[in-house]
Amino acid sequence: MVANSHKGREHAKLGFRLDLPRSGCPRISINRAKANAQELGIAGKQIALTVKGQARTQASLQRSQANHGRICSAITEASDALTLLNVTKTFSAGSHYQFANRLAFVWKLASLGIPTALLYLGFVGDGGLEESLKPFKDDREWQDAFASHSSSILPSKSADIAFAVGKTPSQILVRSRQVLSQSPQVVATPGGNPVRL
């Protein structure tokens, strides 16, 4: 999401602002929202061998493999740079792909002179979600879950990390927000199909 943080309209609705400087250049906020522990995946990047249940053509698979290689290289480049800055530990596309990909985007944009913030937002207090999904009850539970999820990548347990790539400021932020309404509960019908109430 592109945001002019000095206006702060989008973030004021959430109760906080991104404090990136007013330099006249674009500022970007990359947002990831999570409502339960199951959404904090650690899977690595994979190449899909089928598309919509059909085996991929050889040409399609070759394009996918080439794209996969470019993505892995870009994430490795970002990891090397952010590790040198002591922002992260080494990371790759082989684990925590979603997080690694977002960190790579933040680094790339900052390396191009665009101040960027990566915001991980945990929605808390949604009693309508199935308990098996492990919904976040409160801010502390969300912060603990994110710290555990990111511990192999981020050297600090601090929720906020501010850093600069060259002279370009960037941030990694972890926030929570109480849900505005509960998710509808899911029940099984006599035919066994789940239905939201």
What are 44-65's pLDDT values in tens digits? 999 888 888 889 999 999 999 9
Is 75 contained in some domain? no
Mean pLDDT of 140-155: 93
Q: Is pLDDT at 8 greater than 50 in this prediction?
A: no
pLDDT of residue 183: 84
Alpha helix segments (H runs only) across the chain:
9-12, 58-84, 97-111, 139-150
pLDDT of residue 10: 38
Name the DSSP class of 4: -
Domain count, the chain: 1
Reading the block at residue 76, the tokens are: 């490795």
What is the reported pTM?
Answer: 0.79
β-bridge partners, 170: 116, 163
3-state DSSP: the chain helix, strand, coil percent, rounded to 5? Answer: 30, 25, 45
Tell me the average pLDDT of the chain.
Answer: 84
Which of 6-10, 69-73, 117-121, 177-181 is predicted least confidently? Answer: 6-10
Q: Is pLDDT at 188 greater than 50 in this prediction?
A: yes
Is 85 contained in some domain? no
Distance CA(50)–CA(141), nearest Å, equals: 37
Is 145 contained in some domain? yes
pLDDT of residue 11: 38
Reading the block at residue 179, the tokens are: 């849900």
Distance CA(28)–CA(5), nearest Å, equals: 8
Distance CA(167)–CA(36), nearest Å, equals: 36
pLDDT of residue 122: 94
Is 142 contained in some domain? yes
Helix (H) or strand (E) segment spanning residue 31:
strand 28-34
Name the DSSP class of 135: B
Is 119 contained in some domain? yes
Is 137 contained in some domain? yes
pLDDT of residue 19: 53
Is 172 contained in some domain? yes
Is 48 contained in some domain? no
Which domain range does residue 113 map to? 9-41+97-196
